[in-house]
Chain A
């Protein structure tokens, strides 16, 4: 079931004009921001499919930037997000890609960077404001945002799943779904764990302290 809650249908409360091209876009931007963990210095946004054609009319551009600035779908500041980004010294660059093979007509890729780090995610907006994240830093994922999710970037070593799930057990967290993606054997891997309850911040820090864990972030959409 793609849509699980009645509020996916009667909702979200949002700034117009389009739930897939404005609210969904803001949510994809917000995921990027939460995963990056702070305001970036530069935002690169690539539009595909219908997003490439109608992003301007629907305010998809300002919505994604608003999301990256941390605004919710109903935050009126979305309307002025480009100006707000400019004033806070964040550079924003838009790209159009009509060549790449796409899996969904409403697709966007967001790259956030500062001097230390960069993060790239790809998201699709499936309708009514619902989104899915399909790629994080080159890892293919399927993140619906139906449940809170824990993302753990780690070195590809044995025992990593056990170490992380041990912490979750200690915090009495129930795992709803789990997925591990890696680019090649022995390199880096990404663990995506959807939980039934929101994970406390202390548990996330505990997971981050596990040897070979590079980064742990919590995603609640």
Chain B
């Protein structure tokens, strides 16, 4: 039950008449030699850690050491309760829960890397907002993570998932694409629709650079996770409506890889370019670390 591309994954799903999540579980059993129970149990544990981070970020006052992030998830939750949102309470709930997770991450709290820590908000954010609305069971929530994992597995092996190698498109881009596919499956869509959702989501984040202010996973990472959750939800809706990506999913992933390969060093997690190099970005860096990061030792 092995797959290297999204096309193979969709084909396997159709041929076996099983959802993407089940294909991923079977592949994991085969590769690891572990039992289904052990694999499911580990994913249940990951789900619990994610849930705790979402709760902590939306209920408690979370603040990072630098002071650059924290408290925005709560602000958004309070705003939603007023009932006058423009984007809609559903989308904003996912956005708020994504922010919550990233705020906990920035505060050196416990999170699950999905696929990375810098992009850890998008998958739990969408999951804990959409699951209650679809009245999803706990098992369906765990399956959401396997579906997301299957897409991430293809991206990680054919392109990259680290900002230092491929820019933010490899992190937030991958996480958003993974979430879009998982939402589709949870909502009852087909594997093919999941592939289109993946492609639509990733296309909208191609070229996104990794330019963290002061090298911290805070600005702009937290807000990029917020928008990732919104894009994933909309991309899933589009795919469920029957809209198709003109460029096949695997070719979009390959485009992401080629763009990342030509991305300059300054825009790949070195804190030398983009937002990190703006006057305010540099001023914040100086304020936090007492000077520029470049070449500095302890």
Contact = CB atoms under 8 A, between A and B. Distances in A.
Contacts, number: 188
**Chain B: interface residue count, which band?**
35 or more
A99 to B, nearest CB: 11
Chain A CB within 10 Å, residue with most, of B32, B112, B113, B297:
B113
Contacts of A106: 162, 164
Contact of B164 (A79, A105, A129): A105
A79 B294 CA distance: 23
Interface stretch (A18-26, A133-141, A149-157, A206-214): A18-26
Contacts of B217: 16-18, 57-58
Given A50-B269, A95-B297, A74 B110 contact: yes
Given A1-B157, A53-B215, A56-B215, A12 B162 contact: no
Chain B CB within 10 Å, residue with most, of A1, A21, A76, A128:
A128
A12 to B, nearest CB: 6
A173 B178 CA distance: 37
Contacts of A70: none
B108 A129 contact: no
A57 B156 contact: no
A107 to B, nearest CB: 10
A21 B118 CA distance: 10
Contacts of B45: 13
A39 interface: no
Contacts of A59: 108
B58 to A, nearest CB: 17
3 A-B pairs with the lowest CB-CB distances in the bound complex, closest first:
A127-B162, A54-B215, A57-B215
B134 interface: no
Chain A CB within 10 Å, residue with most, of B28, B104, B112, B114:
B112
Interface of A: 1-23, 49-50, 52-59, 61, 74, 76, 78-79, 93-96, 98, 104-106, 125-129, 196
A14 B108 CA distance: 9
Interface string B265-298: 1001111100000000000000011000111111
A17 B106 contact: yes
B70 interface: no
A17 B215 contact: no
Contact of B272 (A7, A53, A61, A105): A53
Q: Is the interface of A mostly helix, strand, loop or mixed?
A: mixed
10 contacts: A5-B32, A10-B149, A11-B46, A13-B110, A14-B111, A19-B113, A19-B162, A96-B295, A128-B161, A129-B113
A193 to B, nearest CB: 18
B115 interface: yes
A15 B115 CA distance: 14
B215 A58 contact: yes
Chain B CB within 10 Å, residue with most, of A5, A50, A126, A196:
A50
